[in-house]
Amino acid sequence: MQKILVVEDDWEMNQGICYVLEANGYGVVSAYSIKEGRKTCEENGVDLVLLDVNLPDGQGFELCRWIRRHARVPVLFLSARDLEEDVLKGYEMGAEDYVTKPFSMKILLRKIDVILKRNGEEQGKIFDDGFLRIDLIQARTEVQGRLCPVTPTEFRILQEFIAHRGQLLTYDVLLDRLWDGGSQFADRHALAVNINRLRGKIEDKEHRYISNVYGMGYQWIGQ
Residues of the chain with pLDDT under 70: 120-124, 180-186
pLDDT at site 151: 93
List of domains in the chain: 3-123 (3.40.50.2300), 127-220 (1.10.10.10)
pLDDT of 123 reads 63
Helices and strands (H and E) in the chain: how many: 8, 14
pLDDT score of 136:
83
Q: Report pLDDT for 94.
A: 84
Q: What is the pLDDT of residues 78-136, one digit of tens each?
A: 999 888 998 998 888 888 999 999 899 999 999 999 888 887 666 667 888 889 999 88
Q: So what's the pLDDT on residue 128?
A: 85
Residues 98, 103, 104: CA angle, nearest 5 degrees = 120
Distance CA 22, CA 8 (A): 16
